[in-house]
Copies of this chain bind each other. A is one copy, B any other.
Amino acid sequence: MDFTMSDRQRYWRDRVIAFMDAHVYPAIPTYDAQMEGFGANRWQVVPVLEELKAKAKAEGLWNLFLPPSAEHDDDEFHGAGLTNLEYAMCSEQMGRVGFGSEVFNCSAPDTGNMEVLHRYGSRYQKETWLRPLMAGQIRSAFLMTEPAVASSDATNIETSIRRDGNDYVINGRKWWSSGVGDPRCKIAIVMGKTDTGAAKHMQQSQILVPLDAPGVKILRHLPVFGFDDAPHGHSEVLLENVRVPAENLILGEGRGFEIAQGRLGPGRIHHCMRTIGVAEVALEKMIKRIQSRVAFGKRVSEHSVWEQRIAEARIDIEMTRLLCLKAADMMDKVGNKVAKLEIAMIKVAAPRVALKVIDDAIQAHGGGGVTTDFGLAKAYAHIRTLRLADGPDEVHNRSIARMEMGKYVNH
């Protein structure tokens, strides 16, 4: 073990930091002003973001998330060649700004979708959707969760994908379909059942559905707390007799869970490291705030209750970061499957610590904390969804416990 960053780790991370400093942080006011300028129709492409993307692409800070992989190597479709661990360090930096990851073409759910296409996609699927995704020309969605069932248990998912001649016909209702609100979003990967009679984990498949296919209806954009998350958004989508060619099916019937497993690891690390970035920003704001205010005859920062909160924040953030980095390192070396304990752990740990730190930061800001002036309430709302997205804490804790108990099962 070695806790010093390698030159290569530092190289990539520092380039991202430098780019954030030079271009992304200074662009925040412009981004906000352009969103503000949209008025009621907020589901639009923000011009400054496209400018930033062009710059990042030109500098080679692009598709950093896609790990090198001999197994899935493809000359034409490759990322910047970072390991998961190297990328994790970059990812924290990107996460410090809400739209940061997208600047580097590293934002969810595109990252997961690109990985899936990269690993499991046919040549046709890659040409058609992976190419423009990697170029940052289109965006994509992943339609998994359903409002009618406890999706924490993915075997509950009910959308049907029925073979009909050379097509598949899809019927179902999805929600939390993130990114569907964006006008650039052209393609969705949809999870559903091709065979309800098969073994429990062989019933599901994943299929590519263009968003302009007849029968795809965006019912509404779901607010998170009261935030619309425009222009990205989280949508409720009705799929009514949506017909797509059979070649849109990924990997094969019944392989939906297999694809899901392959997908989940890297995405969780990205989410968790971005979450660490959010927590760091909250801690920084908390400290600056209490240093700038006076109450009862002294700076708020001199009231020792805040010392305890800051120290706990620093401890918990640092510990969680290390665990995330370890999980990333394990993914690089032993793969998703062996690292599944670590991946489950960070999925639970990272939002937990960030919510605590953000909540304390809100408290430090008084009334300013719960409104939009400091971004803290929005950060809280966003991170709160991560205790539910991709499975609630309880399900991941259950997995962890079962692995743990498995050690002693025959004692």
Q: Which residues in A have some Cβ–Cβ distance to B below 8 Å? A: 1-6, 9, 40, 85, 145, 147, 149-153, 156, 175-176, 222-228, 234, 283-284, 287-288, 291, 293-296, 300-301, 303-308, 310-312, 314-315, 318-320, 322-323, 325-326, 329-330, 333, 341-342, 344-345, 348-349, 362-363, 366-372, 377-378, 380-381, 384-385, 387-389, 392-402, 404-405, 407-409, 411
Contact = CB atoms under 8 A, between A and B. Distances in A.
Given A3-B329, A5-B1, A310-B400, A224 B371 contact: yes
A398 B304 contact: yes
Contacts of A224: 226, 370-371, 377
A71 to B, nearest CB: 20
Given A3-B325, A4-B333, A318-B323, A311 B371 contact: no
Contacts of A385: 367, 370
A206 to B, nearest CB: 20
A222 B304 contact: no
A225 B380 contact: yes
Nearest to A382: B370
A405 B150 contact: no
A393 B363 contact: yes
A318 to B, nearest CB: 6
A288 B405 CA distance: 8
Given A225-B377, A291-B409, A345-B314, A308 B372 contact: no
A226 B377 contact: yes
21 contacts: A149-B293, A222-B367, A223-B226, A223-B371, A226-B378, A226-B381, A288-B411, A295-B395, A304-B394, A305-B394, A307-B397, A310-B404, A311-B345, A314-B341, A314-B401, A319-B349, A322-B326, A363-B388, A370-B381, A370-B388, A377-B381
A145 B367 contact: yes
Contact of A384 (B349, B362, B395, B399): B362
Number of chain copies forming the complex = 4
Given A311-B344, A311-B398, 9 more contacts: A2-B329, A145-B366, A153-B294, A224-B371, A226-B227, A288-B411, A291-B405, A307-B400, A311-B400
A41 B152 CA distance: 38
Contacts of A333: 4
A348 B315 contact: yes
Nearest to A402: B307
A153 B295 CA distance: 6
Contacts of A2: 1-2, 6, 329
A340 to B, nearest CB: 13
Contacts of A156: 294-295
A152 B306 CA distance: 15
A302 to B, nearest CB: 9
Given A40-B40, A150-B294, A293-B149, A287 B404 contact: yes
